[in-house]
Amino acid sequence: MAAIMDLSFMYRWFKNCNLVRNLSDKYVFITGCDSGFGNLLARQLVDRGMRVLAACFSEEGAQKLQQDASYRLQTILLDVTKTESIRAVAQWVRNQVGEQGVNSTTLG
């Protein structure tokens, strides 16, 4: 019984350690938002109050995502095979987040 209580305590402690405060002030940049995991993640983070900068490959994907999401989500077109596209999007992200800056985390 004590072991179960210890595990329960550890789980709650670990879960609370990973909370991000002030989500409405945070930005997240996600690529591949036309469909799949990127699209789903963008929608879920907006629902949790974060500001999402969503990169899509197609105009159609960007428009659909923007239509279905709140004002907290902004889309931009990105072709990761083109250097000029990457540079333009990097500058756009910097302009969006301003002085707040960007923290880099890779999922995968």
Which CATH number fits the domain that encloses residue 41?
A: 3.40.50.720
Task: Using the structure block, give the residue that is written with the tokens 């789980």.
Answer: 11
What pLDDT does 108 receive?
A: 43
Rg (the chain; Cα; Å): 17
Could you say which residues of the chain have pLDDT below 70?
A: 1-20, 100-108
What pLDDT does 101 receive?
A: 63
Does a structural domain hold residue 1?
no
pTM comes to 0.73
Does a structural domain hold residue 88?
yes
For the chain, the farthest-separated pair of C-alpha atoms sits apart, in whole angstroms, at 60
Range of the domain at 42: 23-100
What pLDDT does 9 receive?
A: 63
Those residues whose C-beta lies under 8 Å from the C-beta of residue 56, and which sit 6 or more positions away, are 32, 33, 34, 62, 65, 75, 76, 77, 78
